[in-house]
Chains A and B, each alone.
Chain A
Amino acid sequence: MIPFGYRRAEDVDGAVATVSRNPNAVFLGGGTNLVDHLKLGVASPELLVDVTGLPLDRIEPLPDGGVRIGAGVRNSDLAADPIIRSRYPVLSQALLSGASGQLRNLATTGGNLLQRTRCGYFQDVSTPCNKRVPGSGCSAVDGYARYHAILGASQQCVAVHPSDMAVAMTALDAVALVQGPDGERRIPLVDFHRLPGDAPQRDTVLTHGELITAVDLPPLPAARRSRYRKVRDRASYAFALVSVAAVVDIGDATVRDARIALGGIAHKPWRATRAEEVLRGAPATEETFRRAAEAELATAQPLPDNAFKVPLARNTLVSVLRDLTQISEKDR
């Protein structure tokens, strides 16, 4: 680990100013990903600006009926929050399916959004990786790619985003509040993470020095019936092979509205707009669900090691939609 300075942020503006001034400064949250990268040599900042002491640790109702989640709220506190559990269960479920109890107690909301891929080549500094060293090549595209992308990848990068929380937030139409040197901006979660294209080193649309201060959830009554399902190589404490976050509004055996995001299959949480289009207004039947899933995955381009993710994603989505339909019927 190369030496670095450490500073505790006094306020948001000061933290943003400090990091903006120094191209080799980074924000430090819970550290569960960044400290690992310091050890691995994946990250080598010269200054850490600790933002965990800032007053960004509250979960507050918004006047429009939504909820504001401070960027410093710990993953465990967010998952256990009574409002989130009752009104946005998909978000609690996603959080609880990620990492472990002792990691969730450290990890923050902002840090979770900014965690980086767990692609083994990205984390191994002895191998080429365009995300870590732009232009050095992608080891995964011709290497071992069981865990990699089937949608939206490029020749430069086939890594996937590892977050569960962000997948649920993407389905919920959440909006990130970001403070930069020139003021605040609001970024819909669906636009927050990038596809790799020719610049896989950039995971998000943030510019250097911008700090996530909060995530807003819109009022979404249908989200009371929402679900997150994660499929992985072991029953717990593993990253997703495939995950599905879904909010579906069903009435009179018809899908009135649907919000769906997929995890583990792309460089960003994948909002399944094609599936949503098929679902909206269609009868809530297994046949519809299958058509919706197939529409979404029609453009999938799997690699030899991860072709299984196409049927796995399709079947997981169909099964989540089936479960949500049954819940809706029970409620009537």
Chain B
Amino acid sequence: MEAEITLRVDGARRSLSVDTRTTLLDALRERLGATAPKKGCDHGQCGSCTVLLDGRRATTCLALAVAHDGAEIITAEGLADGETLHPVQQAFLDQDALQCGYCTPGQICSAVGMLDEAKAGWPSAVTSDIAAPTVELDDEEIRERMSGNLCRCGAYVGIVAAVRQAVRQAGGGGSQ
């Protein structure tokens, strides 16, 4: 069954007709040429397809495109401001936070979404005082909050360092 949908992808309005079986990931990559989000496991287990969906990090391989008609999507490619990289992108370069790079766009979108969550005071599974209105992103917090993004090259040490750099630049933790 076909359905007409419109998405806003990295700032551009895109209308297309999709089979209802099409995932958001396949619509982005195969129909709209937005190849920053990667197909890793295609089952919600690796995080390489992560984008910002209506402002929040989300896996796109388990989302049907038809169910997200009208959505605003930012991929890793859309984070930069012209030639100026997003601070999280720059941090991944500075800290050598990748080897093959396949998981990197998902890691970067996940980190951007995660920093917003922390800024809003959201706790994580390792937060000691879950009711506290603010959270400090130490390495343990970073690792837990980024655990939905796997890196088969094992660049985790660099990834944690990159997120740590982005946290420092953003001014530490956050409050509600």
A, B assembled together: yes
> Which residue in B3, B123, B124, B127 is a CB contact (below 8 Å) of A6?
B3
- Is there an interface contact between B44 and A103, defined as CB atoms closer than 8 Å? yes
Stretch at the interface among B73-81, B96-104, B144-152: B144-152
Query: Smallest Cβ distance from B61 to chain A, in angstroms?
Result: 8
Query: Smallest Cβ distance from A8 to chain B, in angstroms?
Result: 8
- Is there an interface contact between B131 and A101, defined as CB atoms closer than 8 Å? no
Contacts of B64 in A (CB 8 A): 6, 28, 31, 35, 48
Interface of B is mostly: loop
- Is there an interface contact between A35 and B148, defined as CB atoms closer than 8 Å? no
- Is there an interface contact between B148 and A3, defined as CB atoms closer than 8 Å? no
Stretch at the interface among B85-93, B110-118, B159-167: B110-118
B143 at the A/B interface (Cβ < 8 Å)?
yes
Q: How many residues of B contact A (CB 8 A)?
A: 42
Q: State the CA gap A85–B113 with chains docked (Å).
A: 21
A32 at the A/B interface (Cβ < 8 Å)?
yes
- Is there an interface contact between A237 and B58, defined as CB atoms closer than 8 Å? no
- Is there an interface contact between A93 and B130, defined as CB atoms closer than 8 Å? yes
> Which residue in A6, A31, A105, A236 is a CB contact (below 8 Å) of B125?
A236
Query: From residue 88 to 137 of chain A, which have CB atoms closer than 8 A to chain B?
Result: 89, 92-93, 96-97, 99-103, 105-106
Q: Which of A4, A35, A36, A92 has the most CB of B within 10 A?
A: A35
B62 at the A/B interface (Cβ < 8 Å)?
yes
> Which residue in B19, B53, B67, B114 is a CB contact (below 8 Å) of A101?
B114
B14 at the A/B interface (Cβ < 8 Å)?
no
Q: Which residue on B lies nearest to A50, using beta carbons?
A: B67
Across chains A and B, which 3 residue pairs bring their CB atoms closest together, nearest first?
A: A100-B148, A236-B147, A96-B125
A39 at the A/B interface (Cβ < 8 Å)?
yes
List B residues at the A interface (Cβ < 8 Å): 1, 3, 19-21, 23, 42-44, 47, 50, 53, 56-59, 62-64, 66-67, 110, 113-114, 117, 120-125, 127, 130-131, 133, 143-145, 147-149, 176
Contacts of B117 in A (CB 8 A): 76, 80, 101
Contact with B along A1-23 (1 / 0, CB 8 A): 10111100000000000000000
> Which residue in A80, A86, A96, A236 is a CB contact (below 8 Å) of B120?
A80
A300 at the A/B interface (Cβ < 8 Å)?
no
- Is there an interface contact between A96 and B67, defined as CB atoms closer than 8 Å? no
> Which residue in B62, B121, B145, B149 is a CB contact (below 8 Å) of A80?
B121
Contacts of A35 in B (CB 8 A): 23, 62-64
Known: A35-B63, A103-B44. 17 other contacts (CB 8 A): A3-B19, A4-B21, A6-B1, A6-B64, A31-B63, A36-B43, A39-B43, A52-B67, A76-B117, A80-B120, A85-B131, A92-B123, A100-B148, A101-B114, A101-B148, A102-B59, A103-B59
- Is there an interface contact between A28 and B21, defined as CB atoms closer than 8 Å? no
Query: Smallest Cβ distance from B32 to chain A, in angstroms?
Result: 19
A38 at the A/B interface (Cβ < 8 Å)?
yes
Q: State the CA gap A79–B3 with chains docked (Å).
A: 34
